[in-house]
A = this chain, B = another copy of it.
Amino acid sequence: MLTYDFDKRGEKPIYEWLYECMKNDILDGKIKAGEKLPSKRSLARHLEISVITVENAYAQLMVEGYVYGVEKKGYFVSRLEERIAQPKEPPRENCEEQHKKKYRYDLTANSTGVDHFPFSVWAKLLRKVLSEKKTEILMRSPYQGVLELREAISLHLYHFRGMSVEPSRIVVGAGTEYLYGMLIQLLGRDKIYGIENPGYQKIRKIYEKNDVQCRHLPLDKSGLSLEELEKNDVQIVHISPAHHFPTGIVMPIKRRQELLRWAQQEEGRYIIEDDYDSEFRFTGRPIPTMQSIDQQERIIYINTFSKTISPSMRISYLVLPNHLMERYNQELSFYSCTVPAFEQYTLAEFMKRGYLEQHINRMRNYYRSQRDALICALEKSSLADRMEITEEDAGLHFLVNIRTDRSLEELKRRVESAGVRLSWLDEYYYELLEHPPTTAVFNYSGISGEDISGVLKALEEAVW
């Protein structure tokens, strides 16, 4: 009869050890298919264990299908395939290699320094939400996001962007990239999408990965060219009229009107207005949104808290025109909201109590001073008469055109080996440029004031 060494079982319960031994014997063919197992009582007596222990082991073998019972006859071994070995070693230690090059200065990253995040306020609100909203934060939030947050966003849009948007037309989601995917599901995979060229590369990748036709549309000095839009049969176009990335173009009112008229001319045409960094305009008033002058339900507005709060907080939102919101309710409301309820309530409190406004104002001042310091240093440097700074009024970056006899490739190589990570305008084009401009994109949100002299020194070395 089956005999097993129970001393080897270590910490395992006896029934589990018995189940494992028998399972292995069945898989190894030591107990043959069709063979009748000893009765529980006799096996228990033989192994000097209790009947209930054998019963538990048999039950587990039954549930997993290794044996089957025949009424009044007993237990029999199932007919299985040859053994499939089970890996048993613990997971290997993970040493994810850092493929990233180490740079001394990174002028490409969007990041908020620890010094600038309102940790104590945030901690206070977390505690408040955790103690006052116990029930709510454990409930699956509505698919659009929790009402408190949508109300706070609605008020924010009214006061800061002059937009009149009911909370019922807002959809909260885990990041802009996620929401692009939802828009494709909402608007249809059979449409032709248009994106700005140069532009933000991720959007193209998302459309590609979603098997959607996507045309790259060149810009003129007012932004997206209407002629190209028509020529390419685009139906849905993706733009950032308040501040194009990376060129910084502000789309003038005339082009906005033309685009709106274009959208109104045919059913199914929409403009996705990505308002990603409109909060950080340093001169004058914020640029109004196209959404606020759209009367034909053609504008889909999208924005994020990645720039205003932190890129690690994955909260973005859509504002949909009425008829699209209805379609969303009908067709996509089965998707759960992707943002944790806890995070949503905390952000809602942060906004309602005016902390977001405070924080944006503080960050705008900080970024302005960073920009001023960097520009000032550039202008005082030996590079001053070899470069031209443009589009410095808004956002967290500006363009620096460098006049040099070196090729762009050489320039990039030299800047890189000087320890400075920069991105370059040509990298935002969807095709290889024949004569790429020697224009760098300086993103200053990730460097500190103390870094500036180091950055300049490295750049001077590299360019000369």
Q: Is there contact, CB below 8 Å, between A285 and B94?
A: no
Could you tell me the distance in whole angstroms from the C-beta of A296 to the nearest C-beta in chain B?
9
Q: Is there contact, CB below 8 Å, between A285 and B138?
A: no
Q: Is there contact, CB below 8 Å, between B138 and A130?
A: no
Q: Is there contact, CB below 8 Å, between A114 and B138?
A: yes
Q: Is there contact, CB below 8 Å, between A174 and B165?
A: no
Contact residues of A between 235 and 273, Cβ < 8 Å to B: 250-258, 260-261
Q: Is there contact, CB below 8 Å, between A168 and B96?
A: yes
A interface list, Cβ under 8 A from B: 16, 19, 56, 59-60, 63-66, 78-81, 84-92, 94, 96, 110-114, 117, 119, 122-123, 126-127, 130, 134-135, 137-141, 147, 150-151, 154-155, 157-158, 162, 164-168, 174-175, 177-178, 181, 185, 189, 202, 205-206, 209-211, 222, 250-258, 260-261, 283-285, 287-288, 292-293, 295, 310-315, 331-332, 334-343, 393
Q: A78-B252, A340-B314 are in contact. Are A138 and B117 (CB under 8 A)?
A: yes
Q: A59-B283, A332-B209 are in contact. Are A175 and B338 (CB under 8 A)?
A: yes
Q: Which of A91, A119, A127 has the most CB of B within 10 A?
A: A91
Q: Is there contact, CB below 8 Å, between B222 and A210?
A: no
Could you tell me the distance in whole angstroms from the C-beta of A345 to the nearest C-beta in chain B?
10
Rounded to whole angstroms, the CA-CA distance of A127 and B125 in the bound complex is 12
A209 surroundings in chain B (CB, below 8 A)? 185, 331-332
Q: Is there contact, CB below 8 Å, between B164 and A91?
A: yes
Among candidates B16, B80, B261, B334, residue contacting A254 with C-beta atoms closer than 8 Å: B80
The 5 closest A-B pairs by CB, nearest first: A65-B252, A174-B338, A312-B341, A81-B257, A174-B174
Q: A91-B164, A134-B119 are in contact. Are A335 and B177 (CB under 8 A)?
A: yes
Rounded to whole angstroms, the CA-CA distance of A79 and B222 in the bound complex is 14
Q: Is there contact, CB below 8 Å, between A338 and B312?
A: no
Number of copies of this chain in the oligomer? 2
Q: Is there contact, CB below 8 Å, between A60 and B292?
A: no
Q: Is there contact, CB below 8 Å, between B151 and A94?
A: yes
A65 surroundings in chain B (CB, below 8 A)? 222, 250-256
Q: A56-B284, A130-B122 are in contact. Are A314 and B336 (CB under 8 A)?
A: yes
Q: A81-B261, A177-B335 are in contact. Are A64 and B253 (CB under 8 A)?
A: yes
Q: A178-B174, A284-B56, A285-B60 are in contact. Are A311 and B140 (CB under 8 A)?
A: yes
Q: A81-B261, A164-B91, A339-B174 are in contact. Are A119 and B126 (CB under 8 A)?
A: no
Q: A283-B59, A338-B178 are in contact. Are A189 and B211 (CB under 8 A)?
A: yes
Q: A141-B312, A147-B96, A174-B314 are in contact. Are A292 and B260 (CB under 8 A)?
A: no
Q: A119-B134, A154-B91, A177-B335 are in contact. Are A312 and B140 (CB under 8 A)?
A: yes
Rounded to whole angstroms, the CA-CA distance of A119 and B86 in the bound complex is 38
A127 surroundings in chain B (CB, below 8 A)? 123
Rounded to whole angstroms, the CA-CA distance of A123 and B130 in the bound complex is 7
Q: Is there contact, CB below 8 Å, between B250 and A63?
A: yes
Among candidates B139, B157, B253, B257, residue contacting A312 with C-beta atoms closer than 8 Å: B139
Q: Is there contact, CB below 8 Å, between B66 and A253?
A: yes
Rounded to whole angstroms, the CA-CA distance of A64 and B154 in the bound complex is 24
A332 surroundings in chain B (CB, below 8 A)? 209
Could you tell me the distance in whole angstroms from the C-beta of A35 to the nearest C-beta in chain B?
15
A295 surroundings in chain B (CB, below 8 A)? 84-85, 87
Could you tell me the distance in whole angstroms from the C-beta of A222 to the nearest C-beta in chain B?
7
List 22 A-B residue pairs with CB atoms under 8 Å apart, sorted by A's residue number.
Answer: A64-B252, A64-B253, A65-B222, A81-B258, A81-B261, A86-B162, A87-B164, A91-B155, A94-B150, A94-B154, A94-B166, A94-B167, A96-B147, A126-B130, A138-B311, A139-B312, A141-B312, A174-B178, A174-B314, A174-B338, A312-B342, A314-B338
Could you tell me the distance in whole angstroms from the C-beta of A148 to the nearest C-beta in chain B?
11
Rounded to whole angstroms, the CA-CA distance of A65 and B285 in the bound complex is 14
A337 surroundings in chain B (CB, below 8 A)? 314
